Structure 1
Amino acid sequence: MTTLPEPISQYLASHIARDIDAAMRWYADDAEVTDEGKTYRGRDEIRTWLASAASEYTYTTELTGVRRINDHTYVATHHLEGNFPGETADLDFTFTLHDNLITALTIT
């Protein structure tokens, strides 16, 4: 399996631990996150999204796959189980990096 670059692996560990301050360390100032069809731009909107996503449901996350698309883009596939609609989901987290920071994250 492909190894994730440190910014992504550290971000994911922080995200799973629901440590918003640690997770935010890995975002560029002008980063964008797209989740559930909504795009959040900049650190303030992303912080708000992280706080909401972390508190809305209780769930477990397991990294089930990693793909390297190019030097700057990686896909981390996660299996989630919890108290959200459908109770299970397999999600692709597509990250784009620049200067060791996340500039884009799309969750599908």
Structure 2
Amino acid sequence: MNLPKIVSELVKTQNNFDSVAYANCFSEKAVVFDEGKTHNGRKEIEHWIADANERYQSIMTPVSYEQNGTESILKADVSGTFPGSPIVLSYHLKIDNELIQSLKITG
């Protein structure tokens, strides 16, 4: 599967549990929507993913990727220490200037 560089980096940093590198995949004013909560800006995203990494130890395996302009959907098989693992999640991404501007994670 041919993923854009920033999406490949997002997967790699998630699988390495590197919350700082993960957050650096996002623009300074990026927004993440996950589990009914909104996380604004790179620092909040870093704290959110660090907490999620500690709680869930999630590993992503890309299943499919569709892109339409600046919007794309990455479907990934996600396994970890959460109820219902593994599960296929959809990562709705808006990418601009090679950085993620927004991410919404859905089941």
TM-score when normalising by structure 2: 0.89
24 and 58 in structure 1: CA distance in 2 versus 1, 3 angstrom threshold:
closer
The equivalences for 1:18-97 within 5 A come to 18-68=17-67, 70-97=68-95
Count of residues in Structure 1 that have an aligned counterpart in Structure 2: 106
Residues 96, 103 of structure 1: 8 Å contact kept: yes
Structure 1 residue 29, shift from structure 2 partner: 0.6
Q: Give ranges in structure 2 of 5+ residues lacking alignment.
A: none
The equivalences for 1:4-15 within 5 A come to 4-15=3-14
Residues 33, 46 of structure 1: 8 Å contact kept: yes
CA distance in structure 1 between the partners assigned to 2:59 and 2:8 by the alignment: 17
Structure 1 residue 81, shift from structure 2 partner: 2.6
Counterpart position of 2:100: 102
CA distance in structure 2 between the partners assigned to 1:10 and 1:88 by the alignment: 21
Structure 1 residue 85, shift from structure 2 partner: 1.0
Question: After superposition, what is the alpha-carbon deviation per residue over 1:23-48, rounded to whole angstroms, capped at 9, x for unaligned?
Answer: 22221010000011111001121111
| Aligned AA (1:75) | I
State the identity as a percent. 30
